[in-house]
Amino acid sequence: MSFNESQWQKSLAAAITSPDELAERFGTEPEPLRAVANRYPLRITPHYLSLIRIPGDPIWRQCVPDPVELEDDQSEDPLCEESLSPVPGLIHRYPDRVVWLVANECAVYCRFCMRKRRVGCGRTDATSRDAALNYLAGTPAIRDIILSGGDPLLLPDEELADLLGRLRAIPHVEIIRIGTRVPVTLPERITPALCQVLKRFHPLYINTHFNHPAEINPESAAACARLADAGIQLGNQTVLLRGVNDDPGVMRSLMTGLLKIRIRPYYIHQMDLVRGTGHFRTTVDCGIEIMASLRGHLSGLATPYYVIDLPGGKGKVPVLPEYVRRQNGKLLLRSYLGEVVEYSDPAIVE
Ligand code: SF4
């Protein structure tokens, strides 16, 4: 892969952005997709496009518009991010940490995105960035900042360095995290120069967003290796998606594959109730079944938390298969193989 600094911009410029280009490539019918792409933008990078084997496969489902996106009437913002924003683009839900939406662009516009209401809709302006920094500097309880968007790693290196430098200048900011799907969708963006910028601002954590084993390939693995070699801790957030990864075997392969490329699986998210994404939702029982197939069968390192982000901005709740039961004063624990074992708990010994 070329490390030419402008290579990733060229790749972005070469991305597919219209149903007609898709039709040319796959022989599909563009007309039904036009209204969808007008409402929710379409962009697929050459790398991500190359991962599609056949129309309708798990990669296709994640990036190609579907007319059903226009059919559901769920909320645009079920997690109430807008009302939890003291200044535009800064979500302050928990006391000690904030999510800061520093970019609105993404390399690929994921069809299941929980921020469909705002991604692909213009750049964040400098005024709201100053307002966010003033809020952060004036709120000493905040010690952990998650840069999100959009994709923060689509910002130019200099802009990112300036932003990170201004955050590091705030004494109470201890941890900076970046959420990005670029290692998956535009791995050439992870240049040595970018890694040099990022490593100046430790402790820095990156959460990647891999959803399917096919997204783990030599290009994405090399991008993650460059980040890991820069001393950056890598975690991964996966969204549980119908027709993409709602299968224990697929999830097992994804989680073990992530560990092999030096990424620690962190969360599996239940799909949020976001308008335009209902066709991706699975039942919660599906998620519990997947967790039961991971826990104990794989190393604990490869086992993420399965979480539901509560509507109304009430925060994340971990969901587990039932391992603990109390019955007639006894504590009963279920092993990963389903065996029920009585455990002596000092709190309930008579
Ligand atoms: S990369 Fe993230 S923010 Fe961007 S479209 Fe995909 S899920 Fe949404």
Look up 285 and say whether it is catalytic.
Answer: no
**Active site residue: 272, 275, 281, 306, which one?**
272
Please state, in angstroms and rounded to a whole number, the distance separating the CA atoms of residues 240 and 4: 35
User: Cα(116) to centroid of ligand 1, in Å?
Assistant: 8
Write phi, then psi, for 279 (nearest 5 degrees): -70, -10
Point out the least confidently predicted range of 73-77, 304-308, 332-336.
Answer: 73-77
In the residue annotation, 80 being an active-site residue is answered as no
Residue 1 covered by a domain: no
For the chain, how many residues are written? 350
Q: Which residue lies with its CA nearest to atom 6 of ligand 1?
A: 110
Residue 50 lies in a domain: no
pLDDT at 350 over 80: no
Task: Give the sheet arrangement for strand 264-269, strand by strand.
Answer: 90-94, 97-101, 144-148, 175-179, 204-208, 233-239, 264-269, 305-310, 315-318
Q: Which atom of ligand 1 is nearest to the CA of 112?
A: 7
Residue 72 has what pLDDT? 84
Of the candidates 138, 134, 135, which has an alpha carbon nearest to the alpha carbon of residue 84?
A: 135
Q: Which neighbouring-strand residues pair with 341?
A: 333
Q: Is residue 95 part of a domain?
A: yes
Partners of residue 147 on adjacent β-strands? 100, 178
For the CA of 150, the closest atom of ligand 1 is: 3
Q: What is the reported pLDDT for 128?
A: 85
Active site residue 115: yes
- 145 Cβ neighbours under 8 A, 6+ residues apart: 97, 98, 100, 136, 167, 173, 175, 176, 177
Q: Which domain holds residue 153?
A: 68-322
Compute the C-alpha angle 191/252/146, nearest 5°.
45
**Cα distance between residue 42 and residue 153, in whole Å:** 19
pLDDT-derived band at 328 (thresholds 50, 70, 90) equals confident
Active-site entry in 40, 43, 113, 116? 113
Catalytic annotation, pick one of 77, 110, 189, 281 = 110
Q: What is the CATH number of the domain that holds 223?
A: 3.20.20.70
Q: Are 48 and 59 in contact (CB under 8 A)?
A: yes
Active site residue 260: no
User: Which ligand 1 atom sits closest to the C-alpha of 115?
Assistant: 8
Residue 345 located in a structural domain: no
Q: Does some domain include residue 350?
A: no
pLDDT of residue 121: 77
What would the 3-class secondary structure string for 260-273 be? Answer: HCCCEEEEEECCCC
CA of 109 to the centre of ligand 1 (A): 6
Output DSSP code: residue 312. Answer: T
3-state secondary structure of 230: coil
Instruction: Give the pLDDT of residue 348.
Output: 59
